[in-house]
Structure 1
Amino acid sequence: MKLTITYDHSIPINAFQWTPSVSAKPLHMHTSLEIGLCTSGQGEFQIGDKRYAVSPGDLIVVNNQELHIARSDAHDPSCYIFVNFDPGLLLAEEEALLLPFAYRPECYVNRIPAASELAAPAAALVRTIHRELETREEGYRSMAKSALLELCVLLLRNYATGWSQREWQRLTASFRRIRPALALIDQRYREQLELADVAAALGMSSSQASRFFTREMGRSFKDYLLRLRLREAKRLLLSTRKSAAEVCFESGFQSVATFYRLFKSEAGMSPQDYRRENDWSAIIEKDAQPMSR
């Protein structure tokens, strides 16, 4: 399901403490970007098909495209400070700051271990953001925003480690070029969208756009679009009472038979079994506040 995030301040940043449930809860995603700091206890963080054991001092980075949830250890429940923020805040400052969140999910390690050099300074900035938004002392908005930008710069530099200057320049240039296509797909993947539409957004021919998209995203446009539609189908199955046929068409599929075949191939079960397996009746309301995770 996709949570609607609201912000309590005039800047699009939230920070809050949260203890995950010990029992399994449905996966969710939200429009904001997210950085979590485990402050105590033990637990597990699931992001898509990836699972991370989490301990105090570990940080978790989550973008706005992946389903995720945390779970506490039954004998030593975990506690987190989470920072949620709007991607537009980074875009308005420096486009490259979005790069740590524009990852290919299957290639990205979301956990920053406490033992890493990045963890301690990043954790201090997470705590600063939380403290400033909690105390609301004079100038707290500027302090919180400043700390968030510094945190994202640290993530960016960590992300760039190991890349040569030439490789990094190519990556950032490619990100700028492909972003209009990704924005178009995100807006219209529920509709009948063709490669020609993406090519027009990129200012390329269809053949050029196909090669460029596959090279930069690690998968073809068709496969990328399919995964978005399947992700939306899962969200609808978990967050609504809509029938499988309604979910099919609202996710962008044109045929119920095709939808069933592709969904079962990807999820290993039918849409109805997926809904039952994930206990859809326990899901919170779609307009939940960040604390109601």
Structure 2
Amino acid sequence: MSDHNNHSSIISLYESQHNEKDRVNSHDHQTHQILYALEGHGTCTLDNKTFGIERDSFIIIPPFTEHSITAQSKMTVLVLEFDACELSEDVQSQLIPEVFQRSVVKKVSMFDSSDLRQLLRKMLYEQSHGDRLWQLALKVYMSELLFTIARAAHDFTQADTNSLRAERLRNYIDSRYFEIKNAEDIADRMGMSKRYIQSIFKEQYELTPMQYLTEVRLGLVKRLLVETEKDIVSICFEAGFESLSTFYRLFKKQVGVPPNMYRQRQKSV
């Protein structure tokens, strides 16, 4: 992690670099913090809830929020730390409650991320090379940044983000059920962590991705058993099961009877 600037300021912006598998252990701060991921991906735990981090993710950390970060690749994060009491009354009364109403990871649009990156660049410049008005400049840019995040939140909330990603995961499983090997395979192909996809998928559908995958495969198996004369081995292979014994065990556990008996019963109805 790079050192803080020597200037004394109510607003501090610095770079934090992490190697793959680095972990910042759980801790909290008295100040408000906004972390911005410049590159890489990982996970962040905020008050025992885990979120995925990727490029252009914003981590909103209210004061006294327990948080930790785990890097899953080389990751660079800008850390913006400030004392809200020193900002203008309008910012304190309107923007701070809006942006920091809860600890969360946000992903803004490409348009907003460009604006936010530009504001962060200006703040870094003022902090390092600014003239006698540099502290005032930081407050102005800080207000702009908070406004941009607050405005973006109305259009694209974290709940929406997780919902859309869970739906994307479901669509992926629906269309690629025959080639998925395990949860790590899904996570790698989607560019997210295993823990993150488990969390958002279960929150949305009350199943893990692998439980849903089994449901999709068994649904196809039941349809093929009833609508075709294909043998059990072919159906098992077509549905994506690697092992016949695993397939029989899962089918009997979920359906209650072996595949052959299920076929006979359904065709006699």
Tell me the TM-score normalised to structure 1 length: 0.45
Name the structure, 1 or 2, with higher relative contact order (CA <8 Å, separation 6+).
1
The structure number with the bigger radius of gyration is 2
Higher strand share: 2
Tell me the TM-score normalised to structure 2 length: 0.49
